[in-house]
Structure 1
Amino acid sequence: MKLKSRKLTGGQAAIKSLRKEQVKHVFGLIGSATMEMFDAIYHDKKIKFIDVRDERTGTHMADGYARASNQPGVIIAGQNGPGATNLVTGLAQAKAAFSPVVSLAGLYSTKDKMEDAFQGLDQQSLFEPVTKKTITLKNSKNIPNAISDGFNVAMSPRRGPVCINLPRNLLAEKNNYKINEKIKSFKNTNNTQSNPNSIKRAAKLISNSSKGIIIVGGGIKYTSGFKPVIELAEYLNVPIVTAAGHGDAIPFNHKLNAGQMGPRGNPVATKLTKEADIILAIGTRLGFNSTFYSFENINKKAKIIQVELEKKMLGKYFPIKIGINADAATTANQLLKEFKKQKIKSEVKIWTERFKNERSKYLFQRNNIPSKNYPIQPPGLFKELRKVLPKNSAITLDAGTLCLQATDALEYYNPPSLFTPLDFGLVGFSYACGLGVKVAKPKRTVVSLMGDGGFGMTISELSTAVEHKINTITIVMNNKSWGAEKAYQKDFFGKRYLGADISSPPFSKVAELYGAKGYKVRKLSEINDAVKSALKVNKPVVIDVDVDPKALYSFRRDSFKHRSK
């Protein structure tokens, strides 16, 4: 097909390039540096612009959108300098989570010297450490190619964020452009197959095992590739353990699902990982939040077979017996075909039956713990949420002691359903991420758990939610403190509290002032009715829950081993 050349401003060409990539939603905050782009969006009928109150939270929205939709999330920082610098935290979070966020940032004119320009800053150097690739335009004719390259890089294995700096004078210049809107620059799937010899070696190793497990992570979760993993686990009759923050990689109710492993997981999955003689790690780096990079959390004698798309991650944190550089779900299918030619050890049945009994006891005890009505304890709150939240719920979590306790305490049925900042440990992520998830999946119930400190950071986005009818439910677990830090001061610094206690306005009332719906919960007996009512409200909802300020837990005890007693 012969394309017609059209005379466009650089800003119009940029938006036409987004159309080429089939972008339907753009998050952003306007600024004078990129007015030509925003004017082009105004005239566009296919791209919905969601104006945010802060570029950082807008980046978290784009991040949540990307993770939930399996499409790039797009954020525009309209102003160079301070508008662009606000992107940094969100892009660093996206990079840690391998999330394909494409950020477009305004930049001072190419005619200006950086040190003399108003709001001038070396944005190329600024963004390089927190992105997979940073591109700074020098010629307006290159705008379509740069955006095409950005989307391709963001979505190529291993995925990650990209920043494109667009000088204001280039966006105003007019040129003739040929942009084919029918062919996007990236693919959503990767079917890279494993080497057949590696598959045979892995199958032979696993066949000789009597205490094997499969550990799955984001490589399965974000591709919804759990079906071949389940088929493989069922054929081998071995438990499936999920990496921390990826408890939704396998539907909760599958009989072989052990839940999340490690310091932030549950005791059953953690015990399996410490005792397994063979570990098949599919789509996981065996990273920090799952293992703390310590043999205290994984059997030192276990033979590890690791399947990873990013070659440099193979064996990066633990010695491996076999490394397979390929797509996780595709490899699971290949292994299943190979195993059907081999005999499985009968001893596996004893190992797996023991696991099932321990998992059953653990879940029974978890669901039957006595719950204080007041003050509300986190396990009691999570117990009630398990009862009342719909099975299709998508859950977003913040960092912090209360949200970390929730990581394996809730149930996830439809991958991807759990969105966390665990790789970056970011407070202030959950609420904004939830808005992005809801935009991507409008029919799903989206519930964002936050502490009072984190919600205070991002509360202004209630305005965005109300304006654009992004109806999520936010549960603020209000313990009137920076809980994780207060726990460390309690356990390691003689209860010498400084800056740990915080005060906040009544979030339920603030929500009403923004035009949302607010509920206040002081007793555990009130949470069920509040959530049930929230599910029926056609507005954004904030449920402010008083949680016992003394219910503190030091997750990173290992960080303070250096302290003398």
Structure 2
Amino acid sequence: MTEARRVYTGRQRVTPSEAFVETLVAQGVTDVFGIVGSAYMDAHDLFPLAGIRFISTAHEQNAAHMADGYARATGRHGVCIAQNGPGVTNFVTAIAAAYWAHSPVVAITPESGSLTAGLGGFQETEQLPIFSKITKWQTHVNSPSRIAELTGRAFHYALHERGPTQVNIPRDYFYGEIETEIPRPFPVQRGAGDSAAIKRAAKLLAAAKFPVIVAGGGVGSAGALAELTALAEHLTAPVVNSYLHNDTFPASHELAAGPLGYQGSQAAMKLIAQADVVLALGSRLGPFGTLPQYGLDYWPKNARIIQVDADFRVIGLVKPVEVGIHGDAKAAAAAIYGELRSVHGERPRNEARIAAIRAARAAWQQELDSLRGANEAGRVDPRRALAELAKARPKNAMVATDIGNVCSVSNSYLQFEEPNSFFAAMAFGNCGYAYPTAIGAKVGRPERPSIAYVGDGAWGMSLAEVLTCVRENIPAIAVVFDNGQWGAEKRNQIDYFDSRFLGTDLANPNFAEVAKAMGGHGITVEHEDQVGSALQEAIASNRPTVINLRLTQALGDPFRRDAFKPPRRLLDKYAAYSAGA
């Protein structure tokens, strides 16, 4: 293995396939997700000799989700590859999800042969346009001699621009002989941002009566937790997590208030509502993290906002800012902290603010407990099930959540102590995201439990990957919320369409038994006191496990009240139908 991972230096006479694979080796790639295809089989044949594990999946979309989960869990590149044409087009949904998650995924997209391009041959399509809006950078290898150069550049941009890139390679370009040099990765460190902006930010925070810090996803990707903690403690500032980034600040810290956004923490919302200065650290302040929830229009209208982000395009995009800092979250937090201490001096702990945070958290916990519904015969109330899962989950566990009503409600119950632990579909919000993402995270961090929360509707899109986990011995866990419905859409039908349920009722098998038939481990849960022990059993088994968690059909608040209007019907037959005639 040591010889296989040897990095070649200087110009070498190699085949393009060797140049491509050695570029992966130079970038530290040890795992690739995909489905084998003839378009790249010459390079694929070299993977084992190069020390690269090829994880064969059931579907290409899930391969790209796995690459996303791998990247988010490790901070390294996630790599996916597929057959040209239909295999590559299956990547699209997952690459879009990775784009909104800022994941350094590299999609390798072999293409039809260069000499038949445009003739409408077998499995041919234009593969660059369909990814053009959901990648940070794309390249088409226009000569076999450039395969190493352009592949290396895609890895460089994916990591440093925090997003997916695409390498498009005509299938005949893997063959022949070339003379090339294998490119080496090199780090490019981001700075703290403009020094004048740092000074203005520190001055604003020093004078603030009630500063609040929004910890965004950039805190995790930049490794900025220590710097954020020091800054928050210096200011005695409440720290709220941006939407679906519950892992950016330890939930047990006395300054932690929980997540903003849909089904987030009322404590976080009520505290940020009092802010006169908000420091958004590594956050684009996306709309779903600032919309009203629980009847609370909590975003502080008159607060002055300091926004720090590595992507200058998002600064001031959603909310007007007083100070914009184009910089690294880690470096910027350290610089602001240093400026506060050196210029504005040490500050005593604000005990009144600590007490306010403690009281807000206690009130929210009491409110959360009151929202629990009643269990039914053989079925558990969703909130009760989520609370039991939260109690049983190990502190080092990673959790991926799908889109859907119960998965969304889980946002109120998911607390973490370390970054890179929580993976959601983010703004793209696609179904079928959680399980393959949890699989990729488990491959990247095998020492940590990896759990997917999945609704029974979305589970239909990813359950085939149980076969992958069994075959590849990946002990990822799926908790399937079996309530017999597409809950998020049924909630809309209840609220806006007089409970006319069209396409939202499901008739499910016992998914635990299906998992057993696939060679995995399956557990059926029908009572509240079984929930925690089922999760513990799944983790202890160290096997691919599906927990079929039977839930009542109780639903949380709808996701997008702002996106609906009462329906209008003008034609007689539709008006009568809507009136219940």
TM-score, scaled to structure 1: 0.94
How far has the Cα of 1:509 moved from its partner? 0.7
Match of 1:222 in 2: 221
Secondary structure at the aligned position of 2:261 is classed as: coil
How far has the Cα of 1:361 moved from its partner? 3.1
Choose from 173, 177, 181 the match for 2:180: 177
Match of 1:99 in 2: 103
Which residue identity is paired with 2:169? L
How far has the Cα of 1:299 moved from its partner? 1.1
In angstroms, what is the RMSD of aligned CA positions?
A: 2.2
Choose from 50, 57, 81 the match for 2:62: 57
Deviation string for 1:27-48 (max 9, x for gaps)? 111111111111121433x111
CA distance in structure 2 between the aligned counterparts of 1:551 and 1:287, rounded to whole angstroms: 25
Which residue identity is paired with 1:108? S
Match of 1:288 in 2: 287
Which residue identity is paired with 1:248? D
CA distance in structure 2 between the aligned counterparts of 1:242 and 1:190, rounded to whole angstroms: 25
Choose from 16, 23, 39 the match for 2:45: 39
CA distance in structure 2 between the aligned counterparts of 1:209 and 1:350, rounded to whole angstroms: 15
State the number of aligned residues.
558
After TM superposition, list the pairs within 5 Å mapping 1:228-243 onto structure 2. 228-243=227-242
Secondary structure at the aligned position of 1:407 is classed as: helix
Between the aligned residues of both structures, percent identity stands at 33
CA distance in structure 2 between the aligned counterparts of 1:293 and 1:120, rounded to whole angstroms: 46
For structure 1, which segment, 286-295 or 543-552, has the greater mean C-alpha deviation from structure 2 after superposition? 286-295
Q: In the superposition, relative to structure 1, how do residues 344 and 296 fare at CA in structure 2: closer, same or farther (>3 Å)?
A: farther
> Does the 8 Å contact 2:222/2:328 carry over to 1?
no
Deviation string for 1:242-285 (max 9, x for gaps)? 10111110111000000101333111101122221110111001
* 1:152 and 2:156 aligned: yes
* 1:334 and 2:335 aligned: yes
Q: In the superposition, relative to structure 1, how do residues 186 and 506 fare at CA in structure 2: closer, same or farther (>3 Å)?
A: farther
How far has the Cα of 1:353 moved from its partner? 2.4
Match of 2:27 in 1: 21
Choose from 63, 81, 84 the match for 1:80: 84
Q: In the superposition, relative to structure 1, how do residues 186 and 271 fare at CA in structure 2: closer, same or farther (>3 Å)?
A: farther
For structure 1, which segment, 249-258 or 202-211, has the greater mean C-alpha deviation from structure 2 after superposition? 202-211
How far has the Cα of 1:117 moved from its partner? 1.9
> Does the 8 Å contact 1:388/1:528 carry over to 2?
yes
Deviation string for 1:489-543 (max 9, x for gaps)? 1111111111111222211011111111000111212212212211210211100
> Does the 8 Å contact 2:136/2:164 carry over to 1?
yes
After TM superposition, list the pairs within 5 Å mapping 1:155-554 onto structure 2. 155-157=159-161, 159-179=162-182, 183=184, 185-187=185-187, 190-292=189-291, 296-340=297-341, 341-342=343-344, 349-364=351-366, 366=368, 372-374=374-376, 375-554=379-558
> Does the 8 Å contact 1:155/1:186 carry over to 2?
no
Which residue identity is paired with 1:50? I
CA distance in structure 2 between the aligned counterparts of 1:2 and 1:247, rounded to whole angstroms: 42
CA distance in structure 1 between the aligned counterparts of 2:371 and 2:423, rounded to whole angstroms: 27
CA distance in structure 2 between the aligned counterparts of 1:239 and 1:281, rounded to whole angstroms: 12
Q: In the superposition, relative to structure 1, how do residues 552 and 307 fare at CA in structure 2: closer, same or farther (>3 Å)?
A: closer
> Does the 8 Å contact 2:66/2:439 carry over to 1?
yes
How far has the Cα of 1:83 moved from its partner? 0.8
CA distance in structure 2 between the aligned counterparts of 1:513 and 1:260, rounded to whole angstroms: 39
How far has the Cα of 1:365 moved from its partner? 5.2
How far has the Cα of 1:4 moved from its partner? 5.3
Which residue identity is paired with 2:297? E
Secondary structure at the aligned position of 1:74 is classed as: strand
CA distance in structure 1 between the aligned counterparts of 2:464 and 2:266, rounded to whole angstroms: 38
Question: Gaps spanning 5+ residues in structure 1: where?
Answer: none
For structure 1, which segment, 249-258 or 401-410, has the greater mean C-alpha deviation from structure 2 after superposition? 401-410
Which residue identity is paired with 2:537? S
Secondary structure at the aligned position of 2:506 is classed as: coil
* 1:114 and 2:115 aligned: no
CA distance in structure 2 between the aligned counterparts of 1:264 and 1:371, rounded to whole angstroms: 16
Which residue identity is paired with 1:557? R
Secondary structure at the aligned position of 1:457 is classed as: coil
> Does the 8 Å contact 2:17/2:174 carry over to 1?
yes
Question: Gaps spanning 5+ residues in structure 2: where?
Answer: 1-6, 570-581
Q: In the superposition, relative to structure 1, how do residues 552 and 361 fare at CA in structure 2: closer, same or farther (>3 Å)?
A: closer
CA distance in structure 1 between the aligned counterparts of 2:385 and 2:558, rounded to whole angstroms: 19
CA distance in structure 1 between the aligned counterparts of 2:509 and 2:371, rounded to whole angstroms: 32
How far has the Cα of 1:222 moved from its partner? 2.2
Which residue identity is paired with 1:310? D
For structure 1, which segment, 461-470 or 60-69, has the greater mean C-alpha deviation from structure 2 after superposition? 461-470
